[in-house]
Amino acid sequence: MPATVIVGAQWGDEGKGKIVDLLAQHADVVCRYQGGPNAGNTVVSGGETFKFRHIPTGILWGKVCVIAAGCVVDPGVLVGELDGLEARGISTETLRLSGNAHLVMPWHVALDGASERRLGRLRIGTTRRGIGPAYADKAARLGIRVQDLLEPKILRQKIETALGEKNVWLERVYGAEPLELESLAAGLEGYAQRLRPYVADTSLLVDRALRAGRVVLLAGAQGTLLDLDHGTYPFVTSSSPLAAAAATSVGMGPSRIDSVLGVAKAYVTRVGEGPFPTEIAGSEGARVRELGAEFGTVTGRERRCGWLDLVALRFAVRVNGITSLALTKLDVLSTFAELPVCTRYRLRDGSESDDFPSHQGDFHHARPVYSVLEGWRQPIDAARSLEDLPPAARRYIEVVEQALEVEITLVGIGAERERVLSARGAEALVDA
Ligand code: IMP
């Protein structure tokens, strides 16, 4: 009964969407387990580009797709995504939305933006999609859930109660415009009608699928280092992208997870603020950004680029229990003569460590210690198997495998679906 978690091993944007898309063809159910419209997955299929925010990319294969209880859903964004897919002839009939997922409301978006503006230089650099405020209300037990959309009277009452408080914050604390009850309630009632058919008990659905021997993919959003508990707090997102969170968010026991596929870029990117030891300064960083088209799918922001960080990746292997790894965008490194890879951090007391620092101050001051690997300096996008890769590219992969003690089973060498090389065939990866 294989259940496979697919988890970002860095700061998000590792190319999880494409890997999920590749594996989804051999799966029966694809669940998104946390995050909300802060995520953006791009899949190129049949020459067409699809961008996803809420819906798992498995919808392109006609698979049952679940937005699980641990997600926060912006109803307007989700409806826009559904309409966009339907308009392109992609059926969304197989989507199931957990009634327990929380809604991102317009005041969450307004508060996220207002809070970031007020923080100024100390801002987190959020996507300003209301994620933090929505999860905060969930924890404070003030949230509005998907199931509330099914009860128009209760929904209106909840909106009214919430607005009473949120407008005080918006006006008095942030000097922002208040939100108006009538137009907001009317908009939500429209979304409620549209979303009603998709609402389901998704925990039960996944349980039944696993009992029937179906293949279930559990796809995380963002990445390990953005985890609320174990990431680079406070420069993190407000949910848990870690593999174990898949179980709680979906509503299944952790013992039912069979394998954890980590996804990492062959280099590192980070959007938003916060420490980044291997960040590449100046024109070389800009070169990686251009070659890798490293601009945010959600916000269009420039991504900060850095060399591969094996200290952080080992940490990701540890906290997620990663059993195999997909290394994406290897082709982006093809023109570099030398490829530094960070194997240790030099700490502020002058000592060196290959363990990821548990103290925020140590991480802020950590300096990378590099091994410099030889580049392959030739295009690799024509390779059809791992054996076709030039020796220096294979060596790069081996160094990562040895440092992590984890097998690299997939290697990304281009944007299209076919440009993912597999050690054993994608089918074998989900058939644990
Ligand atoms: P939030 O999730 O919008 O609250 O943003 C918190 C931090 O997570 C910021 O540094 C964002 O740039 C980052 N973040 C959120 N979602 C993503 C993502 O999908 N990819 C990369 N970074 C993300």
In the chain, the amino acid numbered 111 is: L
In angstroms, rounded to a whole number, what is the distance separating the alpha carbons of residues 317 and 94? 33
Place of tokens 């020796």: 391
pLDDT tens, 376-406?
A: 999 999 999 999 999 999 999 999 999 999 9
Q: Is 39 in the pocket of ligand 1 (CB under 6 A)?
A: yes
Which protein residue has the closest C-alpha to ligand 1 atom 5?
126
Confidence check: pLDDT of 140 > 60: yes
Average pLDDT over residues 97-120: 96
Q: Is 134 in the pocket of ligand 1 (CB under 6 A)?
A: no
- pLDDT band for position 429 (50/70/90)? low
Confidence check: pLDDT of 432 > 70: no
CA-based Rg of the chain, rounded to a whole angstrom? 22
Whether the model clears a pTM of 0.85, i.e. scores above it, the answer is yes
Q: Could you tell me which of 114, 137, 183 has the C-alpha nearest to residue 36?
A: 137
Domain-wise residue ranges, the chain: 3-87+202-430, 102-198
Query: What letter would DSSP give residue 169?
Result: I
Q: Is 34 in the pocket of ligand 1 (CB under 6 A)?
A: no
Q: Could you tell me which of 237, 250, 209 has the C-alpha nearest to residue 98?
A: 250
Ligand 1: which of 14, 126, 230 to mutate, judged by most atoms within 8 Å of the beta carbon? 126
Confidence check: pLDDT of 3 > 80: yes
Confidence check: pLDDT of 1 > 60: no
pLDDT of residue 40: 87
Q: Considering the chain, what is the average pLDDT of its residues? A: 95
Which protein residue has the closest C-alpha to ligand 1 atom 1?
126
Report whether the peptide linkage leading into residue 234 is cis, meaning its omega lies within 30 degrees of zero. Answer: yes
> Is residue 170 a contact partner of residue 176, using CB atoms and an 8 Å limit?
yes
pLDDT of residue 410: 97
Q: Is 216 in the pocket of ligand 1 (CB under 6 A)?
A: no
Q: Given 3-state DSSP classes, what are the helix, strand and coil percentages for the chain, each rounded to the nearest 5?
A: 40, 20, 40
pLDDT tens, 204-230?
A: 999 999 999 999 999 999 999 999 999
In terms of C-beta density within 10 A (0-12 exposed, 13-18 middle, 19 or more buried), how is residue 123 classed? middle
pLDDT tens, 81-96?
A: 999 999 999 999 999 9
pLDDT tens, 319-367?
A: 999 999 999 999 999 999 999 999 999 999 999 999 999 999 999 999 9
CATH 3.90.170.10 is the classification of domain 3-87+202-430? yes
pLDDT of residue 35: 98
H or E segment at 365?
A: helix 360-365
Question: Which residues, listed in sequence order, are joined to residue 218 by a DSSP beta bridge?
Answer: 5, 31
Q: CATH says 102-198 is which class?
A: mainly alpha
Give the rounded percent of residues in the chain with a pLDDT score beyond 90: 91
Q: Is 126 in the pocket of ligand 1 (CB under 6 A)?
A: yes
Distances (CA, A) of 30 to 63, 195, 288: 7, 19, 32
Question: Greater confidence, 378 or 301?
Answer: 378
pLDDT of residue 19: 94
Q: Is 250 in the pocket of ligand 1 (CB under 6 A)?
A: no
Confidence check: pLDDT of 201 > 80: yes
- pLDDT band for position 297 (50/70/90)? confident
- pLDDT band for position 431 (50/70/90)? low
Q: Is 227 in the pocket of ligand 1 (CB under 6 A)?
A: no
Ligand 1: which of 10, 18, 20, 38 to mutate, judged by most atoms within 8 Å of the beta carbon? 38
Confidence check: pLDDT of 428 > 90: no
Q: Which atom of ligand 1 is nearest to the CA of 239?
A: 2
Q: Is 252 in the pocket of ligand 1 (CB under 6 A)?
A: no
In this structure, of 11-20, 267-276, 351-360, 417-426, the range with the lowest mean pLDDT score is 417-426
